Amino acid sequence: MNLVQQIAFLGLLAFAAFLLFRRIRFIQRNILLGKKTGAVEQKGERMKRTLLLAFGQKKMFDKPIVGFLHFAIYAGFIIINIEILEIILDGVLGTHRLFAPLVSAGVYRAFLGIFEFLALGVVLSCAIFLIRRNALKVGRFHKPEMKGWPTSDANIILIWEIALMFALYTMNAADSILQSRIGDMAYVDAHYTNVGAFAVSQWFVPLYDNLSTGMLLTVERVAWWVHIAGILGFAIYITYSKHLHIILAFPNVYFGDLRPKGEMENMETVTQEVKIAMGLAADTAAESEEIGTFGAKDVTDLSWKNLMDAYSCTECGRCTAVCPANITGKKLSPRKIMMDTRDRMEALGGKIDKEGKEYTDEDTLYGNYITKEELMACTTCNACVEACPVTINPLSIILQLRRYVAMEESGTPAAWNAMFSNIENNAAPWAFPATERFKWADELQREEEPKENSETGHN
């Protein structure tokens, strides 16, 4: 029996590792479709931000109750899965509770008790979030971009986590009963160390106490397989889900932009032209055969950090909830911008895998996924950037796409074009030269002088 389980477990582990490795390579390649960025500096500050925002989830605690529940799921699930090490070793070696004989029964039971209490926190938090999403109808969870799969995805992962925790309780409850039945079966005698009942799963014991030893062993083994297979399946599933942020939140925060949020990134091509015009740089256009473009039309025109942002999006909707354009009924949703960018990467990456590295697609991010109407609605207020709990920057993508609209298509509104022309000619958005910039003040002063003279003469 042990040998069959070991072979089956090794097969499952190898299959899961293969699927996970292939998916990770796919995501990595898609992110690297983006352009390179500059060197990473201020590493100490970046590490501090990562600990506070990614691990400590500082921004989530802007809403304390929600922040606490989210942290309970996140920390609880991560810590509980320390137990996976023992389960994996048991599966590979054909043992059962490998670590139990290495420490006292009390110490082992205490650790399992901690895991079970954390699992209870996960169950309660997930249940509350299910009710919140589906019964309370929180507005940001029911925007147009959340219809269909995004809503199902959120519910699937919450139900999945609850199911995994109950599999853990069933496994431990059946195990604690089997410990008291040593002598009934040779397999039980050889594998079930007596460590006593566990903190939470002991309440499940009455459900299984009347089962025969053989049936109880089946229940324990099935729960064991469901738990470990569920964990491995979960690891693969999140790479297709918005829950990839569980992993990518850490590098995404670390590589985030440390500049003040109101500071826009200049385009290198424009900066170079300005320097040439001012005599600060040599004109190398003749030496370059590549034709420069302005802004971004597709994901390959964005930076790799923009693309990592898209994969890191939690779809929580905090960005859209504070977006003044969305609040006033415009079509722009910063969350949709990130979801569309991720969808475009997935589609392009799949076609590259099928057709080869040199594949060029007729579809583009701007036009096929994101419309001009959405881009033009943005006020560049940075509210979405400030609201994101993992420092995603939808505005960066919006600006780059809008630069393409303005500088490649000349597709901006007439009022914008007039302003651009005034800035170019007058160094100001107004339609008069710099020499007349204070003319309005002179006219105002001349209007005030007669009033002052009149009042002086009357007195």
Per-residue pLDDT of 233-244, as tens digits, reads 999 999 999 999
3-state DSSP call for residue 222? helix
CA distance 327 to 226: 44
Q: pLDDT at position 261, please?
A: 82
In the numeric block, which tokens belong to residue 337?
Answer: 């911008």
Question: Which of 335, 337, 301 is closest to 321 using CA atoms?
Answer: 335
Mean pLDDT of 271-276: 80
Mean pLDDT of 176-185: 83
Contacts of 101 (CB under 8 A, 6+ apart): 193
Is the predicted pLDDT of residue 284 greater than 70, yes or no? no
Contacts of 235 (CB under 8 A, 6+ apart): 16, 20
In the numeric block, which tokens belong to residue 225?
Answer: 């397989």
DSSP string, 259-275: S-TTPPPPPHHHHHHHH
Q: How far is CA 452 from the centre of its chain?
A: 64
Q: pLDDT at position 4, please?
A: 84
Whether the CB-CB separation of 92 and 6 falls below 8 Å is answered with yes
Q: pLDDT at position 457, please?
A: 58
Q: pLDDT at position 75, please?
A: 80
Is the predicted pLDDT of residue 182 greater than 90, yes or no? no
CA distance 41 to 173: 51
CA distance 226 to 121: 20
In the numeric block, which tokens belong to residue 422?
Answer: 């005034």
Q: pLDDT at position 137, please?
A: 80
Is the predicted pLDDT of residue 451 greater than 70, yes or no? no
Q: pLDDT at position 276, please?
A: 82
Is the predicted pLDDT of residue 423 greater than 80, yes or no? yes
Q: pLDDT at position 404, please?
A: 94
Per-residue pLDDT of 5-49, as tens digits, reads 889 999 999 999 999 999 999 999 999 999 998 878 899 999 999
- Classify the C-alpha dihedral 193-199-204-210 as positive or negative: positive
Q: How confident is the model at residue 231 (pLDDT cuts 50, 70, 90)?
A: very high
Q: pLDDT at position 440, please?
A: 74
CA atoms within 13 A on the CB side of 414: 0
Q: How confident is the model at residue 79 (pLDDT cuts 50, 70, 90)?
A: confident
DSSP state of 389: T
Q: Give me the CATH topology for the region 294-412.
A: Fumarate Reductase Iron-sulfur Protein; Chain B, domain 2 (1.10.1060)
Report the alpha-carbon angle 202-198-184, nearest 5. Answer: 75
Per-residue pLDDT of 356-385, as tens digits, reads 888 888 899 999 999 999 999 999 999 999
Q: pLDDT at position 372, please?
A: 95
Is the predicted pLDDT of residue 63 greater than 90, yes or no? no
Is the predicted pLDDT of residue 286 greater than 60, yes or no? no
Q: How confident is the model at residue 452 (pLDDT cuts 50, 70, 90)?
A: low
Whether the CB-CB separation of 213 and 188 falls below 8 Å is answered with yes
Whether the CB-CB separation of 133 and 317 falls below 8 Å is answered with no
Q: Distance of CA 84 to CAs 8, 22, 109, 204, Å? A: 17, 22, 16, 21
pTM, rounded to two decimals: 0.86
CA atoms within 13 A on the CB side of 76: 24
Is the predicted pLDDT of residue 213 greater than 60, yes or no? yes
Is the predicted pLDDT of residue 300 greater than 90, yes or no? yes
Is the predicted pLDDT of residue 290 greater than 80, yes or no? no
Mean pLDDT of 442-459: 66
Whether the CB-CB separation of 138 and 132 falls below 8 Å is answered with yes
Whether the CB-CB separation of 29 and 21 falls below 8 Å is answered with no
3-state DSSP call for residue 370? strand
The 8 Å CB, 24+ separation contacts for 289-295 are: 293/269, 293/404, 293/408, 294/267, 294/269, 294/270, 294/403, 294/404, 294/406, 294/407, 294/408, 295/267, 295/400, 295/401, 295/402, 295/403, 295/404, 295/405, 295/406, 295/407, 295/408
Q: How confident is the model at residue 170 (pLDDT cuts 50, 70, 90)?
A: very high
Per-residue pLDDT of 400-413, as tens digits, reads 999 999 989 888 88
DSSP state of 436: G
Is the predicted pLDDT of residue 425 greater than 70, yes or no? yes
Mean pLDDT of 160-172: 93
Domain ranges across the chain: 2-31+63-254, 294-412, 413-459
Q: How confident is the model at residue 189 (pLDDT cuts 50, 70, 90)?
A: confident
Is the predicted pLDDT of residue 269 greater than 90, yes or no? no
Task: State the chain's mean pLDDT as an integer.
Answer: 88
Mean pLDDT of 333-362: 93
Q: From the CA atom positions of the chain, what is the Rg in Å?
A: 30
Whether the CB-CB separation of 365 and 340 falls below 8 Å is answered with yes
DSSP state of 239: G
Whether the CB-CB separation of 240 and 27 falls below 8 Å is answered with no
Question: Which of 145, 220, 225, 139 is closest to 185 using CA atoms?
Answer: 220
Per-residue pLDDT of 104-142, as tens digits, reads 888 988 988 999 999 999 999 999 999 998 998 888 998
